[in-house]
Amino acid sequence: MKNFIYLLVFSLVAKSALGGTPPNYKVTQIPNPPSKFGTKQIDGLDFLPDGRMVVCLPSGEIFFYDPKTSGWQIFAEGLHNPLGVIAESNSSLVISQRPEVTRVTDTDGDGRADFYQVMTDEFGMSGNYHEFHFTPVKDKEGNYFFSLGTGSSGDGIRPIVRGEFDPRGRPGRMHSSTPFRGCVMKLTKDGETIPWSYGHRTPNGLGFDLEGNLFVTDNQGDWVGSSKLFHVKKGRFYGHAASLTWKSGFKGAPLEASPKDLAKMRTRAAVVFPHGSMANSPTQVLAISPDARFGPFTGQLLVGEMNTNRIIRVMLEEVGGELQGACVPFIDGGALARGCNRMAWAPDGSLYVGHTKHTWAGGEGISRVEWDGEDPFEVVSMKLTKTGFRFSFTKSVDPKLAGEVANWPFKRYYYKYHKAYGSPQIDVTPVKVESVEILKGGKVIDVHLEELKAWHIHEVKIMGLKSEDGTSLANSYFAYTLNRLLEDTPPDPLHVSGTASPKKKVAFGKPAKVIDPRGEVYQAVDAKVKGARTSNSHDGYTGTGYVDFDKGNESIEWDIKSSRQGQGEILIRYALGASARPLNLIVNGEKHSVLPFPGTGGWSAWKEMAARVDLKKGSNSIVLATNGASGGNIDHLQLIGPKSD
């Protein structure tokens, strides 16, 4: 909570100091759809050809909204966590829902969907809560693209998964144990599903620019020092290691690869969003189209942000054959809610924004952003020069204020590339401004710096700047991702930290006789489990997971084979990050004893509980059952004996 309060205060201070929503833009709220579940969160948004809006709700409901009457109409329901929609006609939608890309159609004209067509489900699902399926977009040739989130170590996976299970992709904070988690996917107009790019963590937002270039955002976390915007190209790797499990030609386990080798493979972000000050969780990418009535910014990109009430504007340029550029808060604060998740242009040129939060920071509802037709005092573009940056403005600047070197405080820094969660700013260095040159009647300013350094973010917070008519600059905080210089760019220094994970031999299958030569091993996840759940969120288990006891009438029953009658010993491998939790031991239907199961010192610290049992020749039933409370995590049972007479 302390960190949240700090970030909130920081955000408010930053906004008051650096600007907010330009005065020429008005934000209003749209009535919420009448969900029977009371849901007000919007996870997909688009406009039909007839001018109505379509929205997807996390409850699985799809609604149409008529701006002329402010009326809502239910179109479809029963979908699984839909996170994006394309309106292909007034009666047919393409939707990304968790298990598939679906075409939802009203075939009889009654206003309700009656036909649900699977367009593709050719990707894996492990049952992990974090395996989101994001935003379908469609290119000019009729191909679709969608993105798949990785799984989280904060939860396990199911005993049965959809698609191939590859244990190489399972380790790590965020994982990819089934195809093609952490990838951007292409669904061709001919119906073929192709992994298009790799190395994404939480790619919640695809979008095209006006030239047809595809972009995707990613959220800060492991392998992602700060949130980013990537220019997506076929076959490229963008940094998050887990999805390399599914990349053709990659051998071995992703986390066992050297971070330096991974850094050499990765494509740098076109834009890095400074964490905490620009964006914490960027979302959808939307180009400002010629039909949008949104000011003098046609062709630039808008990017939503979940944690604050902000929409970011992105200005890109090509340098050295790759795109890079600057970002600036644009629609910022005021009546705009947090959780700006999905955006679309209405026929009248206004911007509609759907808000969501799920269980994280965010908001709910629908906002409409309108421009009044008058240009705000804003920076239209920030471009790299050989000696610094060129800023173009919507209005002529006050030459005295603009010419003050002290009003252009630049600094530079970078974020580490490593498997740890996030990164602080590294090598933070003030950059001296040598001179400021005012051009083209005050609408262009060249800021000449003492030094430009490739592969660093260059940030400026313009101080006190006004136009000739006395208007304050609406937004003054800019961050330019300077990967390549206009000439003589040095090699990428990689900015790597950390080492490869040690190689581990993990046993899979049943039973795993190689674990211990003392006797045969029977995995808990392969036994008959009643009530308890299987999981693998804690490290150190020996099979594909373990059984996690909770409160209630729960049990594990093993069918143990003995070659002879007599007394044997069973060793039960378990972990318990709490005080003792006894369990009942039942052998061949008779209560044997209560095993104490003391704490092991952590949920990844495994120990053995031993018991001597009388066994008959052939099959034997061995049961562990709850004893009025929950139990620990059970990995396997190992049988030793009976010994020969």
- As a whole number of angstroms, the distance between CA 557 and CA 554 comes to 10
Q: What percent of the chain has pLDDT over 90?
A: 80
Instruction: Report the candidate in 256, 369, 377 with the shortest Cα–Cα distance to residue 302.
Output: 369
Amino acid letter, residue 207: G
pLDDT digits (tens, 9 = 90+) for 545-567: 899 998 778 999 999 988 888 88
Q: What are phi and psi of 513, to 5 degrees?
A: -70, -20
Average pLDDT on 576-581 reads 88
Per the CB < 8 A criterion, the answer to whether 365 and 337 are in contact is yes
The CA distances from residue 336 to 27, 43, 116, 364, 499, in Å, are: 6, 17, 35, 10, 43
Question: Does residue 514 surpass a pLDDT of 60?
Answer: no
Q: Is the omega angle on the peptide bond into residue 259 within 30 degrees of 0, that is, cis?
A: no
Quote the pLDDT of residue 502. Answer: 72
Quote the pLDDT of residue 240. Answer: 98
pLDDT digits (tens, 9 = 90+) for 39-53: 999 999 999 999 999
CATH 2.30.110.10 fits 513-640, yes or no: no
CATH 3.40.50.300 fits 383-482, yes or no: no
Quote the pLDDT of residue 17. Answer: 41
- As a whole number of angstroms, the distance between CA 369 and CA 217 comes to 22
Average pLDDT on 410-419 reads 98
Quote the pLDDT of residue 511. Answer: 33
What residues form DSSP beta bridges with 62?
56, 76
Quote the pLDDT of residue 533. Answer: 85
Quote the pLDDT of residue 200. Answer: 99
Question: Does residue 507 surpass a pLDDT of 50?
Answer: no
Quote the pLDDT of residue 399. Answer: 97
Quote the pLDDT of residue 443. Answer: 98
Per the CB < 8 A criterion, the answer to whether 153 and 421 are in contact is no
Instruction: Report the candidate in 545, 547, 575 with the shortest Cα–Cα distance to residue 165.
Output: 545
Question: Does residue 8 surpass a pLDDT of 70?
Answer: no
What DSSP designation does 263 have? Answer: H
Query: Could you tell me the two tokens for 643?
Result: 């010994």
- Output the CA torsion 496→304→340→283 (10° steps): -50
E-assigned strand segments in 394-449:
410-415, 425-431, 433-439, 444-449
According to the per-residue pLDDT averaged within each range, which of 2-11, 92-101, 538-547, 622-631 is highest? 92-101
516 pLDDT tier (thresholds 50, 70, 90): very low
pLDDT digits (tens, 9 = 90+) for 392-410: 999 999 999 999 999 999 9
Question: Does residue 494 surpass a pLDDT of 70?
Answer: yes
The CA distances from residue 234 to 204, 269, 463, in Å, are: 18, 15, 42
pLDDT digits (tens, 9 = 90+) for 322-345: 999 999 999 998 899 999 999 999
Question: Does residue 307 surpass a pLDDT of 60?
Answer: yes
Q: What are phi and psi of 7, to 5 degrees?
A: -65, -35
Quote the pLDDT of residue 504. Answer: 54
Q: Where in the chain is the domain with CATH 2.60.120.260?
A: 513-640
Quote the pLDDT of residue 505. Answer: 46
Quote the pLDDT of residue 2. Answer: 35
Question: Does residue 481 surpass a pLDDT of 90?
Answer: yes
- As a whole number of angstroms, the distance between CA 460 and CA 458 comes to 7
pLDDT digits (tens, 9 = 90+) for 127-151: 999 999 999 999 999 999 999 999 9
- As a whole number of angstroms, the distance between CA 62 and CA 44 comes to 9
- As a whole number of angstroms, the distance between CA 176 and CA 99 comes to 16
Quote the pLDDT of residue 553. Answer: 86
**Positive or negative, the Cα torsion across 127, 129, 131, 132?**
positive
Query: Which residues touch 249 (CB under 8 Å, ≥6 apart)?
Result: none
Instruction: Report the candidate in 118, 122, 38 with the shortest Cα–Cα distance to residue 80.
Output: 118
Q: How is the chain split among helix, strand and coil, in percent rounded to 5?
A: 10, 45, 50
360 pLDDT tier (thresholds 50, 70, 90): confident
Quote the pLDDT of residue 506. Answer: 41
- As a whole number of angstroms, the distance between CA 513 and CA 638 comes to 9
Per the CB < 8 A criterion, the answer to whether 238 and 218 are in contact is yes
Question: Does residue 645 surpass a pLDDT of 70?
Answer: no
Q: Where in the chain is the domain with CATH 2.60.40.1220?
A: 383-482
Quote the pLDDT of residue 578. Answer: 85
Quote the pLDDT of residue 238. Answer: 99
Rounded to the nearest integer, the mean pLDDT of the chain is: 92
